[in-house]
Structure 1
Amino acid sequence: MGRVQGKVALVTGGASGIGLSAATLMAKEGAKVVIADFNVEGAKEAAARIKKQGGEAVGVFLDASKEDSIKAAVDFTVEKYGTITVLFNNVGLTNPRKDIDVVNMDLAEWDRVMDVNAKSVLLGSRFAIPHMIKAGGGSIINTASMAGFAGDSIRSAYGASKAAVVNLTKYIAVQYGKDRIRCNAVAPGLILTPAAKNNMPPAVLDIFAKFNALPYHGEADDIGNTVLFLASDESKFITGQTIQVEGGHYIANPSIADFNEFVAKSQSE
């Protein structure tokens, strides 16, 4: 208990999934948490659950595509709790029906994805950093993705936006490190959030499992606990890094799973 005692955290996209996990864990460990989400009722319900568990939290509206809405969430945090020392830039979106290959993708979707996934990280940090400087430091954590490290047949804008988050994380870390502000990112692989469970057929989950080094998929708390670590002083000498939380999905020779199947089949014949 108390790993982030006394800290004030703003979590964007905190009404469900990874954001909710991080908000809940940080509140449990002593932080005062503002949960900002487009689903404002979900954010308020999440805050109410945290309060019932003995934590301190409040839910507010956030439209991560709007600069004034991001600023309002930061300002609210400071007005409510006096400062902001942790910012978890977690909002992100993807639409595989429109965000497809480079030749055929919807260009309006490119702009929308870049605004929400990358520009919101810039703006959230832009508005929070002056308050963190006044507070004597802080920790900014950004949600990147393994899509920022590997190519795919679709989601070109999503992958580009997450690669931007990875590099922007380094720039923020370099520019404000002397102000005792750390900036890191977490890059999830496939995580079994409610959205993933509801939208991904079992056959697709099986494909991902085949290429994991570990024999299971990640859960929201696997990311939430990483965020908690980065928010805490336990990580005080870590900055500019992107921690890949992906079950070893991307570490092996890409042919290894098929090769192992070939060997097993050969031995059984």
Structure 2
Amino acid sequence: MNPASSVIIFTVLSGMGLGYLALLATAHDYTGAAAFWHWAFAYALATIGLAASAFHLGNPQRAWRAFTQWRSSWLSREAWGAVLTLLAFAPLALSDWLGLGLPRGFGWVGAVLAMATVIATGMIYAQIRAVPRWHHWSVPLLYLAYALAGGCLLAGFRMPAILALVGVAGAVLLHWRVGDGAFARARSSLGSATGLGALGQVEIFEPAHTAGSYLLREMIYVVGRRHVKRLRVIALGVGVALPILALLVVPGVGGFGLAIILYLLGAFAQRWLFFAEAEHVVGLYYGRR
């Protein structure tokens, strides 16, 4: 599929922000001005990421309608989860800022909602049968791993961040291993799609149309194998191995700052590949698969 920058920004930054919010609520006890800036930064990451997703909608002004289909839509569940998460954290954020002494136990509700929201984001893609590479439980696991690693880096937890980055590497490798053969295992073809496969080999006589279309623009994208290999090296090497090395070698805040920059570069590369490598079955109708 054609990678959209708005969705890439949304999935990376919102996951990182939600992970950071969860750790602020359960493992940190900042007070006063320090609490205000930490909570404000975490809220900004989560909300900026979520706002970026609205730009990918055909009619962004109708984004509110996403809240109406929560019974059947993971997109709607994600929207509700995000709103409830931000509301659940608000009392604790105010308490830390104003020194009201609200116990950290209040933060666990928001933390659970934050992780549920991240999982819902992953399920938006995992539920799509038309994209075999995504139709697997490894997708929400991948999103959750990135959120936890990003949160640990921002929270300044050195050893948990290293372990979370190792978890990211495992989730990424699993997603690639399962996804690389998913389209072939699905056995989708022009014959199965049209129901004419029993009659023999089905081929395209003429394209459905000669002008461009939404399907050609959004659903069909082919990325070169050389680019895939290069971006996979960036995703794991720059986004996982180098941040771990920075945390182990560079002391203090400098190590975390360097690790966060490297992590983001790798996360953006992986998320771009996540969409670019997704083979939608509609491409069969155009002879692109």
Regarding TM over 0.5, the answer is no
TM-score scaled by structure 2? 0.32
Greater C-alpha Rg: 2
Higher helix share: 2
Q: TM-score, normalised by structure 1?
A: 0.34
